[in-house]
Amino acid sequence: MLSLAVKQKVRGGQSRKRLPVNSLAAASAITAGLLAIPILVIVAHVFTGNADVWVHLSKTVLPEYLKNSFGLAAGVSAGVLVIGVSTAWITTQYSFPGSRVFSVLLMLPMAFPAYIIAYSYTGLLDFAGPVQSWIRSAFNLRYGQYWFPEIRSLGGAVWMLIFVLYPYVFLMTRAAFLEQSANLSAASRSLGLNGFKTFWKVNLPIARPAIVTGLSLVLMETLADYGTVQYFGVPTFTTGIFRTFYGLGNAAAAAQLATLLLGFVVLLIVLEKYSRRKQQYFNKSESRQRAELTRLGGMKALAAFLCCAVPVLLGFIIPVLMLLIWCFQNLAQFDAAFVSLAWNSFSLAAIAAVVAIVMSLALAYSNRLNSTLWSRVAIQTVSTGYALPGVIIAIGVMISLAWFDHRVVSAVGDLIGVDFGLLFSGTLVALIFAYSVRFMAMPLGACRNALAQIKPSVDQSARSLGKTPLQTIRLIHVPLLRGSLLTAFLMVFVDVLKELPATLILRPFNFNTLAVRAYELASDERLFEAAPASLMIVVVGLIPVYLLTSSIVRRS
């Protein structure tokens, strides 16, 4: 927030006054540097790694991790592409009963973290659940006398992830279809292609970069998933890293596994960046003629309705009903302990969100003030955190803070004769640090966009009308940034609330959050009791869905 004051003073041209700009730049450089440390610690293990560990890993667990992680990625990709692209096409081209509402409803599953939808469906579909119980009583069968798909399997995990992740593809693809000029389709029709061929040869290829962007986001989430695959007992990279780190206590081997996973993630980042660039190029269309929606009737309308209704039903309505029923069956669970648990979660998420926003503001202002190669590199580095699985970040944070505690803090403690214990690695500082690494991209992007909207001439107008730099910030910047910052705060708040693996690894002893509590109870086969915490997370998770859809509605 110092930027204007700083800018003014620098222009005064006196060396003594140059200090603030440098200290802002220094603060942002330090911020970026700190946030990069956990990643660098992991990457360093590529070079310092022990070859014996590699040999051991590849002989034992690695093939299975690879098989399952790839299977998961492939299955989820296929599912989200089919659901996301088809629903995007239907909602942008056709009008049928309910068609307008579906553009919002189809986003609802985003409110679910995958591990919570997994709890819902396990309760619904496993042996003791209502579906199988009904089959047994209706047909008078017993265990082993009928076939029923096992939900706790790789296939089950694929379905769970498809249900909650297809909205990424839907969102991106829908926007791309809306941006396409109707004249493109008209040109194709006039050249003799029917509607179906036009879709395959014109509409789909033009939307491809957007689809790939959505898909790469889905794959990042898939590779980062820990809760679902752990609960279903499917060994993948994330569960493997967790087990190696916690169960075997082998930090080096865990970090080495993490580097491999990191390699895949980097591929995804490159893919995403590349397709986003292509997207800009594709969307440079001149005047956009919006197409008239085709009105559907009869069976066609029903088919379109079902195509949109099924994902909403499976991805949101059924699992929410399951959670609601569990909650109502046992209202006594909403007790004082639950309230304090929720309070823990909310205050942690709020602190983390504020920290992320303050750091984003420092980085964004320093870049606006004086955009150097270094400040841009810092922003790029910090912005890739969203792609990194929480497990990796947590282990990176753990290793670096443990080193700091053992080497630096205890050395200082010895000098002054105080035993600090684990000052950082066992406390909330570690958690907030990890959240900042993982969730900085969103608030940073929001700050930069909002600041970019305020042209330098607006600052100069305020100054020439007699306002000091600080008054300019108060009267112009604060009101103009407020909305974006609030949105960013809510987004980070919800992400932190949902984040499971990093919280599991880094939380202080006996400190619980909603996500951790739901995970623990579900792991102990106490799904009933996990319902209140799960439902709370889903309800809060609706906030970003609301923010996203209201901006979509405003645009269309």
State which residue, 192 or 466, has the beta carbon closest to other proteins: 466
Q: Among residues 408 and 475, whose Cβ is nearest to other proteins?
A: 475
- Of 430 and 450, the one with the shorter C-beta distance to other proteins is 450
> Where is 323: in which H helix or E strand?
helix 318-329
Q: Give the interface segment with other proteins, choosing from 6-14, 74-82, 306-314, 387-395 (CB under 8 A).
A: 6-14
**284 or 455: CB nearest other proteins:** 455
Exactly one of 11, 16, 142, 284 binds other proteins (CB under 8 A); which one?
11
Beta carbon of residue 41, minimum distance to other proteins (angstroms, whole number)? 40
Residue 15 in the binding site for other proteins (CB under 8 A): no
HSE-CB for 509 with a 13 A CA cutoff? 2
| Closest to other proteins by CB, 4 or 117 | 4
Q: What φ, ψ does residue 94 adopt, rounded to 5°?
A: -120, 155
Q: Choose which of 480, 490, 543, 548 interacts with other proteins (CB under 8 A).
A: 480
CB of 480 to other proteins, least distance (A): 6
In whole angstroms, give the CA distance from residue 363 to residue 385.
Answer: 15
Give the contacts of 322 (CB within 8 A, at least 6 positions apart): 120, 121, 123, 124
Cα 319 to Cα 311, 312, 446, 512: the distances in Å are 12, 10, 32, 24
Q: Does 13 bind other proteins (CB under 8 A)?
A: yes
Residue 152 binding other proteins, by CB under 8 A: no
Residue spans of alpha helices (H) in 331-372: 336-369
The reply to whether 14 sits near other proteins by the rule CB under 8 A is yes
Q: Do residues 499 and 360 make contact, with C-beta atoms less than 8 angstroms apart?
A: no
Size of the site for other proteins (CB under 8 A): 21
Furthest CA-CA distance within the chain: 90
Nearest distance, CB of residue 9 and other proteins, angstroms? 9
Q: In the complex, what is the shortest distance from the CB of residue 363 to other proteins, in angstroms, rounded to a whole number?
A: 24
For 419-471, list the strands marked E by DSSP. none
CA distance 227 to 513: 14
Concatenated DSSP letters of 127-185:
TTSHHHHHHHHHHT--TTSS----SSSHHHHHHHHHHHHHHHHHHHHHHHHHHS-HHHH
Span near other proteins by CB under 8 A; candidates 12-20, 137-145, 158-166, 372-380? 12-20
**Site for other proteins contains 12 (CB under 8 A):** yes
Nearest distance in Å: CB 469, other proteins: 8
CA angle 439, 443, 445 (to 5 degrees): 110
Binding test (CB under 8 A) with other proteins, winner from 196, 411, 479, 509: 479
Our CB check for other proteins shows the closer of 468 and 556 to be 468
Q: Could you tell me if 541 and 518 are in contact, meaning their C-beta atoms sit under 8 angstroms apart?
A: no
Name residue 445's amino acid: G
Residue 272 or 459: the one with the smaller Cβ distance to other proteins is 459
Amino acid occupying residue 208: R
Nearest approach, Cβ of residue 280 and other proteins (Å): 23
Using the rule CB under 8 A, is 555 a contact of other proteins?
A: no
x-or-dash pattern for other proteins, window 448-477, by CB under 8 A? Answer: -------x-xx-xxxxxxxxx------xx-
Match 């042209």 to its residue by tokens.
Answer: 455
User: Is residue 368 near other proteins by the rule CB under 8 A?
Assistant: no
Contact residues for other proteins (CB under 8 A)? Answer: 8, 11-14, 455, 457-458, 460-468, 475-476, 479-480
